[in-house]
Structure 1
Amino acid sequence: MKVMSVVGARPQFVKLAAVAAAFGNTEHHHTIVHTGQHYDADLSDVFFHGLSIPEPDVHLGVGSGTHGVQTGTTLAALDPVIAAARPDWVLVYGDTNSTLAGALSAAKQHVPVAHLEAGLRSFNRRMPEEHNRVLTDHAADLLLAPTEEAVRHLTAEGLADRAVLTGDVMVDVCLRLRDKVLRGEATAPALPASRNARKPYLFATLHRAENTDDPDRLAALVDALTGLPVPVVLAAHPRLLARAASFGIKLDHGLLHISRPLPYAELIATVLDSRGVITDSGGLQKEAYLLERVCTTLRTETEWPETLRGGWNALVPDPRELGSQAWSDTVLRPAPKSSRDMPYGDGKAAVRVVRALEDHVAR
């Protein structure tokens, strides 16, 4: 069986690490196409090196641009690559522009498409990721769903006959690295030198367009972070740094400490060392849940509703509406005493993904 993985952004590299390792234990031919959607070394190279992912067989070097330009450029660049390889499957990951471009290029060439992390829905049609994931699911031939909730979404859209529940491949990587960190075999937390190492801290990320592209909203979110009574370590995405600079918003002041985006092992170690997480990332909500750290999500919705159970995750779209004391109480709330469910699988999802591709290629 010949499988071509199309990836291009940071979260996809983590998923790819699990899938590539699972393929490494088989006789199947697995090739990797890196679109270059994320090209900053901190968002790309460190993941390949740190997670022992094989070097990409093809690097398209697409780079940045508007959503239309980036998707169209990737689609045009992928066409001859898929045409030359004629794989049994094109495997696309998640909800980025690279995901949609990979699905469209393969589907138009009558090459079967499998979508990893299928069935997630935020039901927020202003999110580019929501358009990407819905369109990809409807174009794909095989839908590899991470949760039962995702399968329910696919069923509601008439796609049940294409869906297979595999579990979440990010769990495979997260739990493996968690165990290494707890055994002292992995990297230490990555903390800015400006932070007082004796004080507990919160870990934060902020990168979505709805939070960074409006200067008033971004300024309000930065004020909310700096107004907390404990240090906040903010891993700054290039989008955040660029927008803050263009709006004249100072990030590194007060108890807010800026770090670079973290390699995955350092991210896991830092979350484990923290007392909680503040984010607008989809993946980090789930990782905080898996690592038993409370999470406060700066959005109106989540693709991972399972994290809301028991109070592990809380949605706070606008901290100003809570007031400073309620905002502080929310992000500093203790971890729930009730035990967590494990809705994302047992850490063996990548093996099930390979098995699903094997089972369905014969059909």
Structure 2
Amino acid sequence: MLIHLIAAARPNFMKIAPLYHALKKEDWAEPIIVHTGQHYDLNMSDAFFTDLNLPAPHIHLGVGSGSHAEQTGNVMMAYEKVILEKRPDLVVVVGDVNSTVACTLATVKVSYPIKNSKSKIQNLRRPLVAHLEAGLRSFDRTMPEEVNRIATDALADVLWTPSPDGDENLIKEGVVQDKIVRVGNIMIDSLEMMRQTIERQHAFTDYGLKKCQYGVMTFHRPANVDDPKLLSMLCDSLISISEQLPLIFPVHPRTRKNLQGFGLMDMLEKAETIILSEPLNYVRFMSLVFNCRLAITDSGGIQEETTYLGIPCLTMRPNTERPVTVTQGTNQLCFVSDIKEKAELILSHDLTECQVPEMWDGKTAKRVVDAIKRKFIG
């Protein structure tokens, strides 16, 4: 059974890696890594693939950057040619980037006979599409990722969800129960797969920091970094927080550009309790997260990882597509107006009791493989 695993950027590779390894153990599966090239990532080095024990992508579409429409259209055109040539049985898309919806659209629109003696889908005229990390909703359609999630889930044939809220969202949208399979959080598989490598790093020592005596912060979303007034207020709050807890700030290229353009970089560079760095690879960044006292972010994945690790997290967004990290985990949503107050409250109190969501246990890839076998192999 030929299975394409679609990835567009570093977080996507983190999600497909455990599944690729689980599928490679099966004699009925031939997993193929397809890199759309939607994002150019300085940290996508050979070491990155070595750490994940992944081969170089088998297929590289080389799409590159562009507007949302350009990326989506270019990925669709490039991947359609691959589908017609390679004829996969199953296409697995992950996450919520433009490549996720683009490869889904390309796949559901092709038509050809599928020939696979071991598969139950011989008579279908196209590959099936499975969405790993389905059902997540922020209910904010101003976020391009939300639009991608909704469209992908509406079109995919199989929906693998990470948590009960994902199931509930899909059912409310009219998705039939038979399409939905809760498998857990694949990023926790990646974290556990890399745990020993991460724990050997002790990256915090390279910056003169002490274990559990610093915070990690990341910001890149346009809503937070594209408005000069808001970004200035955020910098003021972060400097104030850093006076109680030193902060390390790996600066995203978009954020750095705006900090420089708005004349704000100088104030951060002068703050003695804020350490600025270039973007870090996954192992070094997670080494910092593993040993920090607090994470401050607007990213999605860190909300999950800190919940799993039991580390307080402040997410500067009005909503999250991962509400289980708030209702069960260590995450709190905040605004620039109350981020300082919430940080001070966290630092002055011990962590309140939280729990790791069900199926966030490092066994998601196995459950996905079992789901594929039940549906396609028998």
- TM-score in same-fold range (> 0.5): yes
> Contact conserved, 2:316 with 2:339, CA < 8 A, in 1?
no
Give the one of 101, 126, 148 matched to 1:132. 148
Secondary structure (helix, strand or coil) at the match of 1:257 reads strand
**1:162 and 2:179 are equivalent in the alignment:** yes
Partners of 1:256 and 1:21 in 2: how far apart? 39
Which residue is 1:202 aligned to? 215
Give the one of 298, 306, 311 matched to 1:288. 306
> Contact conserved, 2:198 with 2:284, CA < 8 A, in 1?
no
Which residue is 2:293 aligned to? 275
Secondary structure (helix, strand or coil) at the match of 2:31 reads strand
> Within 5 A, what are the aligned runs for 1:305-316?
305-309=323-327, 312-316=330-334
Which residue is 1:189 aligned to? 203
Which residue is 1:348 aligned to? 363
Secondary structure (helix, strand or coil) at the match of 1:227 reads helix
* 1:263-320 alpha-carbon deviations (Å, 9 max, x no partner): 22222221121111001111101101111110000001111112113672111122xx
**1:146 and 2:162 are equivalent in the alignment:** yes
> Within 5 A, what are the aligned runs for 1:41-60?
41-43=42-44, 46-60=47-61
Which residue is 1:107 aligned to? 108
Which residue is 2:119 aligned to? none
Which residue is 1:224 aligned to? 237
Deviates more, 1:217-226 or 1:30-39: 217-226
> Contact conserved, 1:205 with 1:234, CA < 8 A, in 2?
yes
- CA 329–6 in structure 1, closer or farther in 2 if over 3 Å, else same: same
Deviates more, 1:218-227 or 1:119-128: 218-227
> Within 5 A, what are the aligned runs for 1:53-132?
53-109=54-110, 110-132=126-148
Q: CA deviation at 1:232?
A: 0.9
Secondary structure (helix, strand or coil) at the match of 2:270 reads coil
Q: CA deviation at 1:245?
A: 2.6
Name the aligned partner's letter for residue 69 of structure 1: E
Q: Using structure 1 for the length normalisation, give the TM-score.
A: 0.91
Q: CA deviation at 1:207?
A: 1.1
> Contact conserved, 2:328 with 2:357, CA < 8 A, in 1?
no
> Contact conserved, 1:119 with 1:150, CA < 8 A, in 2?
yes
> Contact conserved, 2:197 with 2:283, CA < 8 A, in 1?
no
Name the aligned partner's letter for residue 129 of structure 2: V
Compare CA radii of gyration and give the structure with the larger one.
Answer: 2
Q: CA deviation at 1:177?
A: 3.2
- CA 4–335 in structure 1, closer or farther in 2 if over 3 Å, else same: farther
Q: CA deviation at 1:180?
A: 5.5
- CA 199–158 in structure 1, closer or farther in 2 if over 3 Å, else same: closer
- CA 286–6 in structure 1, closer or farther in 2 if over 3 Å, else same: same
User: Unpaired runs of 5+ in structure 1?
Assistant: none
Q: CA deviation at 1:239?
A: 1.9
Give the one of 255, 270, 288 matched to 1:240. 255
Partners of 1:173 and 1:80 in 2: how far apart? 31
* 1:123-150 alpha-carbon deviations (Å, 9 max, x no partner): 0111110000110000100001111111
Partners of 2:100 and 2:369 in 1: how far apart? 19
**1:359 and 2:360 are equivalent in the alignment:** no
Q: CA deviation at 1:65?
A: 1.5
* 1:173-231 alpha-carbon deviations (Å, 9 max, x no partner): 2134345655xxx32225664x5558921001111121122222222222221221221
Q: CA deviation at 1:256?
A: 1.9
Give the one of 322, 326, 338 matched to 1:322. 338
Partners of 2:167 and 2:350 in 1: how far apart? 29
Partners of 2:167 and 2:155 in 1: how far apart? 16
Partners of 1:158 and 1:125 in 2: how far apart? 18
Runs of 4+ aligned residues of structure 1 deviating over 6 Å after TM superposition are: none
* 1:225-270 alpha-carbon deviations (Å, 9 max, x no partner): 1221221111222222223233332043302212222222222221
Partners of 2:85 and 2:292 in 1: how far apart? 48
Deviates more, 1:63-72 or 1:337-346: 337-346
Which residue is 2:269 aligned to? 252
- CA 75–95 in structure 1, closer or farther in 2 if over 3 Å, else same: same
> Contact conserved, 1:177 with 1:268, CA < 8 A, in 2?
no
Which residue is 1:23 aligned to? 23
> Contact conserved, 1:192 with 1:257, CA < 8 A, in 2?
no
User: Unpaired runs of 5+ in structure 2?
Assistant: 111-125
> Contact conserved, 1:178 with 1:291, CA < 8 A, in 2?
no
Q: CA deviation at 1:49?
A: 2.8
Q: CA deviation at 1:111?
A: 2.2
Q: Using structure 2 for the length normalisation, give the TM-score.
A: 0.88
Partners of 1:224 and 1:345 in 2: how far apart? 33
Deviates more, 1:209-218 or 1:104-113: 209-218
Aligned residues: 356
